[in-house]
Amino acid sequence: MERLMIGAATLALLSGAAQAGELTLQLKWVTQAQFAGYYVAQEKGFYEEEGVDVTILPGGPDIAPTQVLAGGGADVIVEWMPAALAAREKGLPLVNIAQPFKSSGMMLTCLKETGIENPETDFAGKTLGVWFAGNEYPFLSWMNTLGLSTEGGPEGVTVLKQGFNVDPLLQKQAACISTMTYNEYGQVLDAGLTPEDLVTFKYEDQGVATLEDGLYVLESTLEDEQKVEDLAAFVRASMKGWQYAAEHPEEAAEIVLENDETGAQTIEHQTRMMTEIAKLLEGSNGTLEEADYQRTVDILLSGGSDPVINAAPEGAWVSTITDRAFD
């Protein structure tokens, strides 16, 4: 009888494993501590505990998460809300299902020697480095708010299409460049400049911050009850991973390095990145706050004659997944 009971238990476990939900997550960028929570959840077995089998796909300069999702290459993606809402307005039915990052890490980092002290008076006539591929939307919205043309000239700004490095600032090709608090700003310091050589303008401090690194799916995914259950389990395990990563930044950095196939990352940089990322997670359990969503929409709509989006979105986010995950 005991042998039969063990056999039945084994079959039940095998059956449960076979029924485990399978999800593919497409990251916004390359393997780094920006996504540590997902790697930690995988390494620590949090996904397995929740009965989901998650495949994590790194991103890169030639990978657009929204296109991967549209093409069926992923079930869920990490994306910034401005890019997601812009894509939705163009016809791709993206829906935010969770928002791990509460705050924005985006800022402009400027050389102090350029004389820039106040964005409202000192950006005009300057060259500013900006990332594209969807990352330009917060910047363009900010410039519109300031009433600055992005076509150049003494009354506007000249936009330098910035690569994913800090060279334009180091080589003085631009007065300011786009940086993240957790990444490129550290690269500028590593290159030999000091905080005293720089002036920084955080989007949060300027009142133009929009939501970053949310989790998005297609509307059709939410029509599948099993996928909804799998996504709730995925979000619950992911937030457990984020909490662990925030509390153990060096261990999280080590896990990231173990998953970095390029070998380009260092433990020092990734630990520093995770420490800064933890600040952006503060106040979030993964649930999107409606006030934060509305702030992002209002900022994107306030672009004068050329806003990032032209109308307030409808159905662009749901609480269904986080309600199931945390209630």
* Residue 134: predicted pLDDT: 75
Q: Are 98 and 216 contained in the same domain?
A: yes
Q: Is residue 128 within 8 Å of residue 158, measured between CB atoms?
A: yes
Q: Which of 159, 182, 206 is the last residue of a domain?
A: 206
Per-residue pLDDT of the chain (327 residues), as tens digits, is 333 333 333 333 333 333 469 999 999 999 999 999 999 999 999 999 999 999 999 999 899 999 999 999 999 999 999 999 999 999 999 999 999 999 999 999 999 999 999 999 999 999 999 998 778 888 988 998 899 999 999 999 999 999 989 999 999 999 999 999 999 999 999 999 999 999 999 999 999 999 999 999 999 999 999 999 999 999 999 999 999 999 999 999 999 999 999 888 999 999 999 999 999 999 999 999 999 999 999 999 986 667 889 999 999 999 999 999 998
Domain that holds residue 39: 2-103+211-326
Q: Which of 182, 206, 230 is the last residue of a domain?
A: 206
pLDDT in tens, 109-157: 999 999 999 999 999 999 999 998 778 888 988 998 899 999 999 999 9
* Residue 305: predicted pLDDT: 66
Helix (H) or strand (E) holding 159: strand 158-161
Calculate the alpha carbon distances from 85 to 4, 146, 174, 307, 311 in Å.
55, 22, 29, 12, 10
Q: Are 53 and 127 contained in the same domain?
A: no
* Residue 3: predicted pLDDT: 37
224 Cβ neighbours under 8 A, 6+ residues apart: none
Q: Are 88 and 229 contained in the same domain?
A: yes
Q: Are 250 and 193 contained in the same domain?
A: no
* Residue 9: predicted pLDDT: 38
* Residue 100: predicted pLDDT: 98
For residues 31 and 257, what is the distance between their CA atoms, to the nearest angstrom? 8
For residues 166 and 277, what is the distance between their CA atoms, to the nearest angstrom? 19
* Residue 141: predicted pLDDT: 87
Q: Which of 152, 181, 206 is the last residue of a domain?
A: 206
Q: Are 166 and 273 contained in the same domain?
A: no
Q: Are 275 and 179 contained in the same domain?
A: no
Torsion sign, CA atoms 53, 59, 64, 68: negative
pLDDT in tens, 24-71: 999 999 999 999 999 999 999 999 999 999 999 999 989 999 999 999
Q: Are 75 and 127 contained in the same domain?
A: no
Q: For the domain that residue 110 is a member of, what is the CATH number?
A: 3.40.190.10
| DSSP SS3 for 166 | coil
Q: Are 218 and 248 contained in the same domain?
A: yes
How many domains in the chain?
2
Q: Are 185 and 217 contained in the same domain?
A: no
Q: Are 176 and 310 contained in the same domain?
A: no
327 Cβ neighbours under 8 A, 6+ residues apart: none
* Residue 132: predicted pLDDT: 86
| Euclidean distance between the first and the last CA atom of the chain, given in angstroms as a whole number | 40
Q: Are 225 and 131 contained in the same domain?
A: no
Q: Are 223 and 194 contained in the same domain?
A: no
